[in-house]
Amino acid sequence: MKNTLIFLMTLITSTTIYSQNQKVELPKKTDYKYWSFDMRKELKFDNITASNNLYWKSKIDPKLNKHEKQHWSYLKKTVKTIKEEIYRKNDTTKREETNLYTYDFTGNILEKVKYYDQNNEKSYSRIAITYNTHGNIIKFAEYTCNSFTKFKEKLEEKYVFTYDKKQNLIKEEKINATIKVFNYNSNNQIEKIEYFDYEPNQEGIIAFADEATEEEVESYIKQLKNKLILRYTFKYNELGKVILERKEEVIKSRYKIHTFQHIYSYNKNGTLSNFSTQNFTIGYEYDKSRLLLSETYKDLKSNTSKKAVRAYDKRGNLIKYKSTRDYTNDAFENIYEYNNDLIISETVYDESYGSMEQTYSIKYEHDDNAFLTKSITTSNNKTSEETYKYDDEGKLLNYTRKNTLTDEIYNYKIYEYDENGGVTKSVWNDFIKRKIEYY
For residue range 268-277, what is the model confidence (pLDDT) as tens digits? 999 999 988 8
- 371, 19 Cβ separation under 8 angstroms: yes
Q: What percentage of the chain exceeds 90 in pLDDT? A: 49
Give the distance, in angstroms, between the CA of residue 234 and the centroid of all CA atoms in the same chain: 21
225 three-state secondary structure: helix
Average of per-residue pLDDT across 44-50: 81
- 18, 396 Cβ separation under 8 angstroms: yes
Confidence of residue 67 (pLDDT cuts 50, 70, 90): confident
| Residue 415 pLDDT > 80 | yes
- 8, 27 Cβ separation under 8 angstroms: no
Dihedral of the alpha carbons of 211, 215, 221, 225, in degrees to the nearest 10 = 180
Of 95, 112, 94, whose CA–CA distance to 103 is shortest?
112
Burial 125-150 (b: 16+ CB within 10 A, else e): bbbbbebeeeebbbebbbbbbbeeee
The string of DSSP codes covering 40-100 is HHH--TT-HHHHHHHHHHHTT-GGG-TTTGGGGTT--S-EEEEEEEEEETTEEEEEEEEEE
Q: 118 or 255, which is more confident?
A: 118
Alpha helices in 157-243 (DSSP H): 214-224
Bridging pattern class, strands 190-196 and 179-184: antiparallel
Of 66, 68, 67, whose CA–CA distance to 82 is shortest?
68
| Residue 418 pLDDT > 90 | yes
Average of per-residue pLDDT across 42-61: 85
Of 340, 391, 392, whose CA–CA distance to 366 is shortest?
340
What are the residues facing 161 on neighbouring strands?
Answer: 172
- 217, 223 Cβ separation under 8 angstroms: no
pLDDT at 208: 43
Lowest-pLDDT range of 72-81, 178-187, 344-353: 344-353
| Residue 11 pLDDT > 70 | no
| Residue 173 pLDDT > 70 | yes
User: What's the rounded Cα separation, in Å, for the pair 145 and 309?
Assistant: 57
Of 285, 339, 288, whose CA–CA distance to 317 is shortest?
339
Confidence of residue 6 (pLDDT cuts 50, 70, 90): very low
The string of DSSP codes covering 121-178 is TTSEEEEEEEE-TTS-EEEEEEEEESGGGTTS-EEEEEEEEEE-TT--EEEEEETTS-
Give the best-scoring range by mean pLDDT among 156-160, 204-208, 224-228, 293-297. 156-160
User: What's the rounded Cα separation, in Å, for the pair 188 and 163?
Assistant: 13
Average of per-residue pLDDT across 288-294: 91
Confidence of residue 31 (pLDDT cuts 50, 70, 90): very low
Q: 89 or 385, which is more confident?
A: 385
What stretch of H or E contains 37? helix 37-42
Lowest-pLDDT range of 152-156, 166-170, 211-215, 357-361: 211-215
Average of per-residue pLDDT across 178-207: 74
Confidence of residue 306 (pLDDT cuts 50, 70, 90): confident
At residue 299, what is the residue type?
A: D
Beta strands in 179-219 (DSSP E): 179-184, 190-196
In this structure, what DSSP letter does residue 35 have?
S
Instruction: Please give the mean pLDDT across all residues of the chain.
Output: 81
pLDDT at 46: 74
Burial 377-401 (b: 16+ CB within 10 A, else e): beeeeeebbbbbebeeeebbeebeb
- 108, 131 Cβ separation under 8 angstroms: yes
Start-to-end CA distance of the chain, whole Å, equals: 48
Rg (CA), the chain: 26
In this structure, what DSSP letter does residue 188 have?
S
Q: 284 or 41, which is more confident?
A: 284
User: What's the rounded Cα separation, in Å, for the pair 198 and 179?
Assistant: 7
Lowest-pLDDT range of 30-39, 96-105, 430-439: 30-39
Q: 128 or 258, which is more confident?
A: 128
Of 59, 56, 102, whose CA–CA distance to 82 is shortest?
102
Average of per-residue pLDDT across 168-195: 89
Average of per-residue pLDDT across 92-105: 91
Q: 401 or 176, which is more confident?
A: 401
| Residue 62 pLDDT > 90 | yes
| Residue 30 pLDDT > 60 | no
| Residue 25 pLDDT > 50 | no
Confidence of residue 41 (pLDDT cuts 50, 70, 90): very low
Dihedral of the alpha carbons of 241, 242, 243, 245, in degrees to the nearest 10 = 180
Q: Return all residues near 118 (Cβ < 8 A) that are at least 6 apart.
A: 95, 98
Average of per-residue pLDDT across 307-313: 91
pLDDT at 256: 66
User: What's the rounded Cα separation, in Å, for the pair 208 and 247?
Assistant: 27
| Residue 291 pLDDT > 70 | yes
Write the pLDDT tens digit of every residue in 234-277. 999 999 999 998 888 776 655 567 788 889 999 999 999 998 88
Neighbours of 222 (CB within 10 A): 10
Confidence of residue 221 (pLDDT cuts 50, 70, 90): low
What are the residues facing 101 on neighbouring strands?
Answer: 82, 112
